[in-house]
Structure 1
Amino acid sequence: MPADGTPTVHSGKKPPQLPWPDIGHLAKWSVSSHKFGFGPECLTDDQPDTFWHSDGPQPHFVTIEFPRKVAVQKLSVYLSFPLDDSYTPATIAVRAGTGPADLQDVRILTLDKPDGWITFDVSAEPNEDGDGCKSVNAYVVQVIILANHMNGKDTHVRGLHILGPIEDTPANNEEPFSWISPVFKMHECIR
């Protein structure tokens, strides 16, 4: 994955195996509009032949609401220009905040005839290490379809995963909080 936050395209219909944990199951998903049988459940079913089909005026959006504040690192979205033509999103905005009333733009992405899973950082701001982008802490994340290819009205999104940051785990025998100072070493074992 590029460290500068540029999107990565994974060819194929199956979701890519990524090191970031999928946290979408923790949230309530809703959409701005949908045709019968093509609702928000089609975004998370991992079936490449189903899709969310919007049905209303632009912009179209997917709202993902968490019961507590979570760290969001990346989004992975499945789009297929060869299958969906003018229904394919061309410009996507990501907003985040503590509630629907205070959402702020954190990323805007322009796509050119995408085909596959596109994985990108939610924030474009570099992290402290300089080897990636910062995660965004939010209760609500909203993915907005600002424009479609060929000025299409409604949109098709075939899959959407919301990914948290990779959690550092200690090595097999390594303690998460090692007892290294002499004072702590005194209390390391029971006498």
Structure 2
Amino acid sequence: MASNQQDTVEVVCPYYAERFGNVREVTSCIISVSSCKPGFGVEQLMDNSMETYWQSDGQLPHLINIQFPRKTSVCHVYIFSDYKLDESYTPAKISIRTGTHFNDLNEIEIISLCEPSGWTGIPIRNIRDKPIRTFMLQIAVISNHQNGRDTHLRQIKIHSPVETTKNQTLDNFNEYSTVEFQQYSTIR
């Protein structure tokens, strides 16, 4: 079930979230796009440079497909766009879809953007407000500003929550690092 949650869109830098150690960037995935101009493809979308961008080539909607090798938890999708530089190429409405493959994708979010400049964070949650576990994520650009035909996206980042076990959490404290304590830290 899709929800128009423009108020949940966050304008933040994904690098800050990674620094705190609660999330990690998902890198073990296959990324494809529905179309691109020569020299403006997936490589430019993922190169960590705000100077380069992916440029679509064709009819709307423009799609970015992210396929994971195993079911993966996803808590945020971040996109970097800049209306001042890209004007009519800047996305105005984005749909986020998840599923196991191309034929069973369900729309979970529809986001409206108003002249974005910088990182836009989109929380990805299920109905219980937990990160979604999925094999495939699709970002669909439904419309652009000024009725533009092609799209520029400068970067995308996908974050997964870092899951810590009780032992990993306790190992962070010096007072629990003695041999005596560690021998009782697991149940056999």
| Runs of 4+ deviating beyond 4 Å | none
- 1:85 aligns with 87
Per-residue deviation, residues 76-116 of structure 1 (Å, max 9, x unmatched)? 11010000000000100000001111000111111100000
2:159 corresponds to: 163
Corresponding residue of 2:16: 17
**Gaps spanning 5+ residues in structure 1: where?**
128-133
Return the structure number with greater helix share: 2
How many aligned residue pairs are there?
A: 166
- 2: distance between equivalents of 1:16 and 1:68? 24
Contact 1:107–1:124 (8 Å) recurs in 2: no
The alpha-carbon deviation at position 170 of structure 1 amounts to 1.0
CA drift of 1:135 comes to 0.8
User: Root-mean-square deviation (CA), in Å?
Assistant: 2.0
Instruction: Give the distance between the partners of 1:79 and 1:125, measured in 2 at CA.
Output: 28
1:53 corresponds to 2:55: yes
Residue equivalent to 1:130? none
Cα contact 2:73–2:133 (8 A) shared by 1: yes
Say whether 1:110 aligns with 2:112: yes
Q: Distance in 1 between matches of 2:73 and 2:63?
A: 20
Mark the CA change 1:89 to 1:124 in structure 2 (over 3 Å): closer, same or farther: farther
| TM-score between the two structures when normalised by the length of structure 1 | 0.80
Judging changes above 3 Å, is the alpha-carbon distance between structure 1 residues 48 and 118 closer, same or farther for their aligned structure 2 residues?
A: same
Correspondences of 1:65-144 after superposition (within 5 Å): 65-123=67-125, 125-127=127-129, 134-144=130-140
Aligned to 2:36: 34
